[in-house]
Structure 1
Amino acid sequence: MQKDYFKDISEIKDLMNRSSRFISLSGLSGILAGCYALIGAAVAYLYFLPPAINIDYSSTKEIKVNYIILDLILVATFSIVTAIILTMKKAKSNQEKIWDATTQRLLLNFMVPLAAGGVYILIQAYQNHFGLSAALMLIFYGLALVNASKFTIGNVQFLGYAEIILGLICAAFPGYGLYFWALGFGVLHIVYGTLMYRAEKKQ
């Protein structure tokens, strides 16, 4: 009888926790987002950037800013659309709500540091200050993940910590920002998405 009592309490706590937190994002969306990032990085490397040792951060002739921004926008768009579609599909199969007060709080906590960082990076880019762009992207994205993690089910905060650490390391090697960007937004997403996907399959 006592075992049943503790079991009921545990189930109630689990339900309360899930009701106050957003469902975990699809692991497959993380994998695909990483793939999009690697493709975007490859395009930037092949067409928009000179070799790292020859980058002149004071010249927009060397770095095609508008093309790189378009590349980033396309990567972000594909990633967001994929995440929405797959997360909605997952929520439907689990009979969970996808848009409620918790989702709104999650988006607010995620977007505030991300938007602030994005605006700051754009200001720096149009002033021909490119050296720390990749590092700042990683750091602000990591902060956004950590800030929003309290509203998600899963361990997304660890991805955030990894992005922040990688961004700080990247800041010490500004000439190789694209490689760190690809590692953070590409490889880390694929690794994290794979772990999530495997966990989903076990459930």
Structure 2
Amino acid sequence: MANMISFLASLIIILAIFTQKINAVDYTVTNRAANTPGGARFNRDIGAQYSKQTLAAATSFIWNTFQQTAKTYIQSYSGNVKREITGVLYHENTHIWQWNGNGRAPGGLIEGIADYVRLKAGYAPSHWVKPGQGDRWDQGYDVTARFLDYCNSLKSGFVAQLNKKMRTGYSNQYFVDLMGKTVEQLWRDYKAKFPTMNELVILDQK
């Protein structure tokens, strides 16, 4: 049920991207788990009407707090805006379905997994870092996405297995469990396989 509510909330944000006024968004709340204990409690203690009211209020509050609208970003984007927004939607929808280790996973890993999905879907923008770039494995977004792609190339299905393990918690030990190496060693191996331009210059000078 938690995933369902998250999906609805994220869908509202996505819809808001394409509207100029928050009140143009239509809200629909459907409890598809009504026959479960959690679904019954949702109906009893929260309810669809309250959820719709809260979603509307929260969305309006967030946009007023940020004092910005996505229409400005879309208007000023110089590249293929349709492809860019498609990539953003893949990234944000990943957050709906991925596990976060009950809040204990590094934020950079969470964002990296979302960008990894965007990468594998074929919507990585040209301004992303190249393989091997970045300072830390959990730096997040494109840096971590490239690193995860490397790990997944060593063991097919690694990212999916890592996500499953993050359902109940998080530990760097998960990398050892799945890959047989610490995440630090995997990062060193990754950097060695894809030396950046600066690193190549240093090597040439030795």
Normalised by the size of structure 1, how large is the TM-score? 0.25
Q: Quick check: which one's helix share is greater?
A: 1
Whose radius of gyration is greater, 1 or 2?
2
Structure with the greater relative contact order (CA < 8 A, sep ≥ 6): 1 or 2? 1
